[in-house]
Amino acid sequence: MTNLSDVHVLPDGLTVLVRRMFERAGWDERDATLAAENLVLANLSGHDSHGVGLVPYYVQAAERGALRKGRTLTTVLDAGVLLTLDGGMGLGQVVGHDAMAIVIDRARSLGAVIMNLRNSHHLGRIGHWGEQAAAAGLVSLHFVNLIGMPALVAPWGGTQARFSTNPVCIAFPRPGEEPILLDFATARIAHGKTRIAWKRGQPVAEGNLLDPAGEPTTDPAVMWSQPLGALLPFGEHKGSGLAFMCELLAGALGGAGTIADRTDWNAVDNNMLCILIDPARMGGADVYAAEAERLLAWVHETPAARTVDRVRVPGEPEREARARRRAAGTPIDPTTWGDLVECAVSLGVSRKEIARMTGVSVEG
């Protein structure tokens, strides 16, 4: 949602600013570029919850040593199709990229790979990793848990949080086209969306939140003050069950740890189980792409309900947002923009430089 006070920043300028901030915070040019491009793409995709508004939180996490700099990715287990990597609490946008590059190579040679990436600092928009695999022509499935911060989501029927927002992503490549990309939190809304609503001073829609007493509320502040409230799972028992399975697949299977009984809260610590499949090696090489197109057309031809202009498939809203925002700039609410500017200034980037990079006049 936008309002009149949002600033609109074109992606190139925003990327330059965020890259400079990461460099000033101590990352090298390559890592700063990966992180900046990842976060700006999240904004462009319409997922502001996972965009540049996170930079001040990342800088704070680095300052207290919870987010580490430098090369942190290590191999815990390498057994052919099975890989366990440890991100060493490095920048998720870098660790995620490097881990995916390793498994993409492996999946191309073996046909399929199952990888557990442990202990990465926040992996951001999980769809980014599905897109990386799809760009290499691979199908990918991602199940994620989050430890290192308090539980945020109540299991179905419960009044207190027991899960994180446990995202799931499935990406299916389309030769020469953008992939089909399903990518969502198993909570009804991502936690970051309550941050954006809270910073905008807006309520969230009914049916998404419980207050600390377990009563329904629309006030996003309950997720940003103590005692914490809880998000509700999407799809009632189904989303709740999927979140449980994310905990098992991402947290238990590779030994990374689930959210159960944790109190060692220091930073967003993501674990991700990732399954990559080469679609050309499953026996349907001649038909999989054509079948995908047939299905897509079949679904697109569904008569639309009065409330929508047309039926879409997963990944389309993000592509539409990218087209709009690349042209008009990405809207950033004034509080998030102010926090970003303050963080940049604290890192030694002057207001004059910020204005020059982004084309947005910066007061103060």
Both tokens assigned to 223: 């997720």
Of 20, 121, 125, 199, the one binding ligand NAD by CB under 6 A: 125
Any contact of residue 184 with ligand NAD (CB under 6 A)?
Answer: yes
Q: Find the part of the chain contacting ligand NAD (CB under 6 A) among 44-52, 70-78, 203-211, 220-228.
A: 44-52
Do 204 and 247 touch, CB atoms closer than 8 A?
no
Do 81 and 110 touch, CB atoms closer than 8 A?
yes
Q: By CB under 6 A, how many residues form the interface with ligand NAD? A: 29
- Look at residues 117, 113, 129 and name the one whose alpha carbon lies nearest to residue 170: 129
Q: Find the part of the chain contacting ligand NAD (CB under 6 A) among 47-55, 64-72, 219-227, 273-281.
A: 47-55
Q: Which is nearer to ligand NAD, 312 or 351 (CB)?
A: 312
Q: Give the shortest CB-307-to-ligand NAD separation in angstroms.
A: 10
Of 190, 196, 277, 289, the one binding ligand NAD by CB under 6 A: 190
Any contact of residue 57 with ligand NAD (CB under 6 A)?
Answer: no
Any contact of residue 232 with ligand NAD (CB under 6 A)?
Answer: no
Residue bearing tokens 């009984």? 261
Helix, strand, or coil (residue 60): helix
Residues in 301-320 at the binding interface with ligand NAD, rule: CB under 6 A: 312-315, 317-318
Q: Which is nearer to ligand NAD, 132 or 270 (CB)?
A: 270
Residues in 251-280 at the binding interface with ligand NAD, rule: CB under 6 A: 270
Any contact of residue 124 with ligand NAD (CB under 6 A)?
Answer: yes
Q: Which is nearer to ligand NAD, 259 or 357 (CB)?
A: 259
Any contact of residue 47 with ligand NAD (CB under 6 A)?
Answer: yes
Residue bearing tokens 């079949």? 298
Any contact of residue 50 with ligand NAD (CB under 6 A)?
Answer: yes
Any contact of residue 113 with ligand NAD (CB under 6 A)?
Answer: no
Any contact of residue 122 with ligand NAD (CB under 6 A)?
Answer: yes
Both tokens assigned to 347: 């890192």
Amino acid identity, position 131 = E
Q: Which is nearer to ligand NAD, 71 or 300 (CB)?
A: 300
Q: Find the part of the chain contacting ligand NAD (CB under 6 A) among 19-27, 45-53, 108-116, 331-339.
A: 45-53
Rounded distance, CA 94 to CA 82, Å? Answer: 21
In sign, the C-alpha dihedral spanning 241, 54, 151, 89 is positive
Q: Which is nearer to ligand NAD, 13 or 257 (CB)?
A: 257
Going across the sheet that includes 269-277, the strands are 74-79, 82-86, 112-121, 269-277, 139-147, 168-174, 177-184
Q: Residues 6 or more apart from 50 whose CB is under 8 A from it?
A: 39, 42, 124, 125, 190, 192
| Peptide bond just before 227 cis, omega within 30 deg | yes
Any contact of residue 167 with ligand NAD (CB under 6 A)?
Answer: yes
Any contact of residue 43 with ligand NAD (CB under 6 A)?
Answer: no
By CB neighbour count within 10 A (0-12 exposed, 13-18 middle, 19+ buried), where does 75 fall? exposed
- Look at residues 177, 181, 182, 183 and name the one whose alpha carbon lies nearest to residue 289: 177
- Look at residues 213, 207, 227, 153 and name the one whose alpha carbon lies nearest to residue 185: 153
Q: Which is nearer to ligand NAD, 169 or 289 (CB)?
A: 169
Q: Give the shortest CB-360-to-ligand NAD separation in angstroms.
A: 25
Beta-strand relationship, 82-86 and 112-121: parallel
Any contact of residue 146 with ligand NAD (CB under 6 A)?
Answer: yes
- Which spans of this chain sit near ligand NAD (rule: CB under 6 A)? 47, 49-50, 122-127, 144, 146, 165, 167, 169, 181-185, 189-190, 193, 270, 312-315, 317-318
